Structure 1
Amino acid sequence: MNINPNKYFCSIEAFFTRIAKGKGVPHINPVVDLGNAISLKYTLPMGAHDLGKSSEDICIRLARPDDTFLAFGGEKDETLMCHKVTQKTTDSRHNSVMIDA
């Protein structure tokens, strides 16, 4: 993809930067709006998935020793530390890190 991850903020950073610049919170739909309100109140990233549009199951769990993650703009798999909260679809080879702490 050849994208510089330092040039683009993650979603929660972009969201708070938008608020700090006085651009307000856009209305998307009631579920996204609720997630945005919770993100603002608790400084906590929130996300939602439309499970009706996914043909795969989504699993949220602690990472396992053999789990890998492909960073945005990355070319090489990274191994996840076992305490990371991750989400994965049933057919996906990679995980998405949900809490990077």
Structure 2
Amino acid sequence: METTIDTSISSIIPSFKIGVIHYHHIEVGDSPQMLKGRLQLFQESIFFDLQDKNVTDISGVSEWRDVFKSTGKDPNRYRHSAEALFRRVKKQNYLSTINSAIDLNNFFSLQYEVPIGIYDLNELKGNNIELRVGQAGETYKGLNGRKNSLENLIVAADEEGPFGSPFVDSNRAPVGKGTTNALQIIFLKPTLPAEEGNKLTKSLMDMFISIHGGEGSFRVVNA
């Protein structure tokens, strides 16, 4: 399955880039105690770091707020998923464990300060995933339980339409304990050098496979 970036993004943000990972034959289950412990300690560390600064002072949070502004989405009304995680931690509303894939996704989103989406590959349709800007009238029901407007929002779409975004993912392809094949999209900082993007994406993939088994392949897709 190929992943491409549409000109509706590249014409506005020439430095836009994403890390894309395909996983096969993985086993998703309860998070191991090691991951639960690391996620908890990391959140506590972030909480203390944020006592003297605002969430918007975090470089990745700030960069992705600028991305939203660039495409015409108000970042104060539509906070990207990494910012939402940091705001929860700042309120000491720590993330509860969901499953090994989602917990690790959240851990890396906090570590790298960027939105990251993970999707059940078997639920996606067609041979191409396109990153583009959402059009007027496009919506989907999100994992937040609401109908979300996708207009001016960066979305990931298959042949059936949008299924994910750095704001909130749809409820069409969530990863659960029955997932054996998955697609992960890392919405990298636009200012991140390409070489660093490759290292980051590979590091995430290796950690994911060490917990879930299976095989993975990755690439960084540039605008």
TM-score (norm: length of structure 1): 0.57
The 5 Å alignment of 1:16-95 reads 16-52=86-122, 54=123, 56-57=125-126, 59-60=128-129, 63=132, 68-70=133-135, 72-73=148-149, 87-92=156-161
Higher relative contact order by CA 8 Å / sep ≥ 6: 1 or 2? 2
Higher helix share: 2
User: CA offsets, 1:43-80, max 9 Å, x none?
Assistant: 1211100123x1514734565xxxx5137536xx65x9
User: Secondary structure at the residue paired with 1:49?
Assistant: strand
The CA RMSD measured in Å over matched residues stands at 3.7
Q: Displacement, 1:31? A: 0.3
Higher-Rg member (1/2): 2
Is 1:12 matched with 2:82? yes
Q: 8 Å contact 2:82–2:115 — kept in the other structure?
A: yes
Aligned-partner residue type, residue 89 of structure 1: D
% same residue: 28
Q: Cα gap change, 1:40/1:97 in structure 2, threshold over 3 Å: closer, same or farther? A: closer
Q: Displacement, 1:8? A: 4.9
Measured in 2, the distance between the counterparts of 1:30 and 1:8 equals 27
Structure 1: stretches of 5+ with no match in the other structure: none
Task: Count matched residues.
Answer: 85
Q: Cα gap change, 1:6/1:96 in structure 2, threshold over 3 Å: closer, same or farther? A: same
Structure 2: stretches of 5+ with no match in the other structure: 1-73, 139-147, 167-186, 191-223
Structure 1 segments, 4+ long, off by >6 Å, are none
